[in-house]
């Protein structure tokens, strides 16, 4: 059984907990983002999170690394067993995922502060629904204390699932709390 681990690896990944705090400070004077902009970009993040989960499942299945039981999946072992070509593909998939999230923010709003907020908003939904998609289709992760490889650039980031979920939920709350009604920007 997994046990609770407070810190992610490498150490600087833990600094991501500052994203919601910095967002609150940066956005405390308000964000001019319409409810429809938040709703549409949230839908994109939700859908893209599920697509991302599907891609990961296909990659694991294609490499024979998709276990029959969610309890058998060990992400750090998968990293070691992944062919160099597939590891490279995975790196590029991560880069283009971030590019797509940035592009949505650029299309949704005009002001820099609001673009950053929309990027964080979409990222939060994408991240949460990546895990929801994995769980709905493979029953993995089997708990919030399941270990996962979060990102590969510049080195693998490893943490329990609760950590990225906490950062995403807190960031979504900070954007929602600071949004003000106004014209779509």
pLDDT tens per residue, range 27-68: 999 999 999 999 999 999 999 999 999 998 888 787 776 766
Q: What is the mean pLDDT of residues 139-147?
A: 93
9 inside domain:
no
Which stretches of the chain are assigned E, i.e. beta strand? 31-32, 147-151, 157-160, 179-180
Domain that holds residue 161: 32-178
- What was the pLDDT predicted at 86? 81
**Does the pLDDT value for residue 72 go beyond 70?**
no
Q: How many CB atoms lie within 10 A of CB 47?
A: 14
Summarised one tens digit per residue, pLDDT across range 114-141 is 999 999 999 999 999 999 999 999 999 9
Domain count, the chain: 1
16 inside domain:
no
- What was the pLDDT predicted at 79? 66
20 inside domain:
no
Mean pLDDT score of the chain, rounded to an integer? 90
126 inside domain:
yes
14 inside domain:
no
Q: Which residue has the tokens 């971030």?
A: 98
- What was the pLDDT predicted at 70? 58
d(CA 126, CA 106): 16
Per-residue pLDDT band for 71 (boundaries 50, 70, 90) equals low
Per-residue pLDDT band for 148 (boundaries 50, 70, 90) equals very high
146 inside domain:
yes
Least confident of 30-34, 75-79, 143-147, 159-163: 75-79
Structure tokens at 7: 């810190």
12 inside domain:
no
Residues pairing with 157 in the sheet? 151
Count of residues in the chain: 185
19 inside domain:
no
Threshold 0.95, pTM exceeds? no
Contacts of 180 (CB under 8 A, 6+ apart): 30, 31, 32
- What was the pLDDT predicted at 182? 60
């Amino acid at each position: 059984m997994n046990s609770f681990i407070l810190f992610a690896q490498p150490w600087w990944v833990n600094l991501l907990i500052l994203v919601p705090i910095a967002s609150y400070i940066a956005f405390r004077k308000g964000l001019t983002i319409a409810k429809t902009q938040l709703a549409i970009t949230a839908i994109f993040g939700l859908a893209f999170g599920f697509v991302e989960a599907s891609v990961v499942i296909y990659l694991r299945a294609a490499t024979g690394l998709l276990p029959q039981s969610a309890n058998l999946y060990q992400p750090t072992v998968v990293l070691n067993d992944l062919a160099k070509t597939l590891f490279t593909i995975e790196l590029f998939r991560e880069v283009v995922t971030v590019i797509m999230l940035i592009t949505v923010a650029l299309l949704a709003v005009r002001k820099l502060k609001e673009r950053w907020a929309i990027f964080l908003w979409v990222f939060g939904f994408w991240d949460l629904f990546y895990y929801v998609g994995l769980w709905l289709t493979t029953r993995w992760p089997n708990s919030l204390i399941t270990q996962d490889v979060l990102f590969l650039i510049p080195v693998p980031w490893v943490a329990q699932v609760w950590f990225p979920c906490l950062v995403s939920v807190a960031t979504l709350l900070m954007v929602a709390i600071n949004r003000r009604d106004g014209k779509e920007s």
